[in-house]
Amino acid sequence: MTTTKPVLIVGAGFSGAVHARLLAEAGYRVDVIDVRPHIGGNAYDHVDANGIRVHAYGPHLFHTKNKPIADWLRQFGTFVDYTHKVRALLPSGIMAPLPINLDTVNLVFGTSYTTPEQVADHLARVAVPIAKPANAAEYLYAHIGRDLTDLFFRPYTKKMWQFDLEDMASAVVKRIPLRSDRTDTYFADDEIQMMPRDGYTAVFQRLFDHPLITVALETAFDRAMLADYAFCFNAMPIDAYFDFSAGELPYRSIRFHTRTITDAPAQDWSVTNYTDSGALTRETRWDCLPHHIVQETGRRTITAEEPCDYRDNNRERYYPVKTADNRFQAIYNKYKAIADESSSEMAFIGRCGTYQYLDMDQVINQSLASARRWIAARA
């Protein structure tokens, strides 16, 4: 350790918490600030009046192929296995498995396929021959054809992003697997799928539980703070830090609509996607997640999601917008260049600092690598 000044970390979500923990374990004093009244960032959860654990910013489901990342996270809580399932409510009223699989194809087309080979042959027949898909629409057309694309993805994409499939980058839909067998679990390709038994907030409490870490909530970043610190890891929106001098980076936000039910039918999935052209994209039944009934009241909580522009939702930034022409990535690249040139004592981290959509395992992996590089450079 080469400094007596503490390190400032802006943001108490996963990127900030992982940096804080590693730096503290290396002997650095760390001050964490967050403008919100709670730790955990968008992974924050709490128990509501129905006795149900609710994720305040939508369902967070840890899944990864990276065992070292999962093992590192397990230090900070007890995790239980969880296999995530999603159903898509079609305009016809049919509830279909999602991702698309053998049963989905049979339900939509009225076929009676029994083998993956039959489904693969069907999809090959309806696929549009596009050698190099240039956008999300072309990627889906080339893999599942027009009918499934327009049914499952076109209205959903429009209300989620306010762009058509033709405008969106292929990466947006490549995240969703496409299957020809009967596998109906969402993250089947990830060997590790787990949930914290006591919730994510408890995990963050343990991450920050170190004598060299202090946390100040409802505290906004101010440039004047930097004089008191040796370095700053900053998870705030990079365009806001630079006063939008190169343009504003768009984000989609979510308005949450929560309701209580008392007659909850049994179901083996927790999330239902809406494929129609209405305002809502999906809803989560929290009691269908493991250990989310904390106190039995006979009541259950359901949260529906309505996407919107972040400027229409108290500037709550959730999803960076990734278009096929990379117009917004180009704006971010300008900010990245300004940041690289302007200061050697600050690094932007996390979803808003790097303008990336990151799964939890990805942000933990990036943050571990970033913190370790910083520590090694000062050893």
What confidence tens digit (pLDDT) does each residue in 75-132 have?
999 999 999 999 999 999 999 999 999 999 999 999 999 999 999 999 999 999 998 9
**Mean pLDDT, range 287-298, rounded to an integer:** 97
Q: Could you tell me if residue 291 is inside a domain?
A: no
How large a percentage of the chain has pLDDT more than 90?
Answer: 96
Residue that finishes a domain, picked among 131, 158, 174: 174
User: Quick one: 228 and 372 in the same domain?
Assistant: yes
Q: Give the confidence band of 342 by pLDDT, cuts at 50, 70, 90.
A: confident
Structure confidence at residue 343 (pLDDT): 78
Q: How far apart are CA 377 and CA 367, in angstroms?
A: 15
Q: Give the confidence band of 3 by pLDDT, cuts at 50, 70, 90.
A: low
Structural domain boundaries, residue 156: 100-174
User: Quick one: 240 and 327 in the same domain?
Assistant: yes
**Mean pLDDT, range 304-333, rounded to an integer:** 96
User: Quick one: 325 and 214 in the same domain?
Assistant: yes
On the question of a cis peptide bond just before residue 91, with omega within 30 degrees of 0, the verdict is no
* Phi, psi of 76, rounded to the nearest 5 degrees: -110, 20
Q: Hey, what are 299's tokens?
A: 């009541």
Q: Could you tell me if residue 93 is inside a domain?
A: no
User: Quick one: 167 and 108 in the same domain?
Assistant: yes
User: Quick one: 169 and 215 in the same domain?
Assistant: no
Predicted model pTM: 0.95
Q: Could you tell me if residue 112 is inside a domain?
A: yes
Give the total number of structural domains in the chain: 2
Structure confidence at residue 136 (pLDDT): 96
Check: CB of residue 321 under 8 Å from CB of residue 161. Answer: yes
Q: Tens digits of per-residue pLDDT, 237-264?
A: 999 999 999 999 999 999 999 999 999 9
User: Quick one: 364 and 234 in the same domain?
Assistant: yes
Q: How many residues does the chain have?
A: 379
User: Quick one: 152 and 235 in the same domain?
Assistant: no
Q: Tens digits of per-residue pLDDT, 346-372?
A: 999 999 999 999 999 999 999 999 999
**Mean pLDDT, range 16-31, rounded to an integer:** 98
**Rounded mean pLDDT of the chain?**
96
User: Quick one: 104 and 170 in the same domain?
Assistant: yes
Q: Could you tell me if residue 370 is inside a domain?
A: yes
How does 36-74 read in b/e, with b if 16+ C-beta sit within 10 Å?
Answer: beebbbbbbbeebebbbbbbbbbbbbbbbeeeebbebbe
How many other C-beta atoms lie within 10 A of the C-beta of residue 21?
24
Query: Where residue 215 sits, what CATH number does that domain have?
Result: 3.40.50.720
Structure confidence at residue 278 (pLDDT): 96
Structure confidence at residue 1 (pLDDT): 53
Q: Any idea which residue has 């762009």 for tokens?
A: 163
User: Quick one: 170 and 29 in the same domain?
Assistant: no
Q: Could you tell me if residue 198 is inside a domain?
A: no
Q: Tens digits of per-residue pLDDT, 182-230?
A: 999 999 999 999 999 999 999 999 999 999 999 999 999 999 999 999 9
Q: Could you tell me if residue 155 is inside a domain?
A: yes
Nearest to 162 by CA among 57, 251, 273: 251
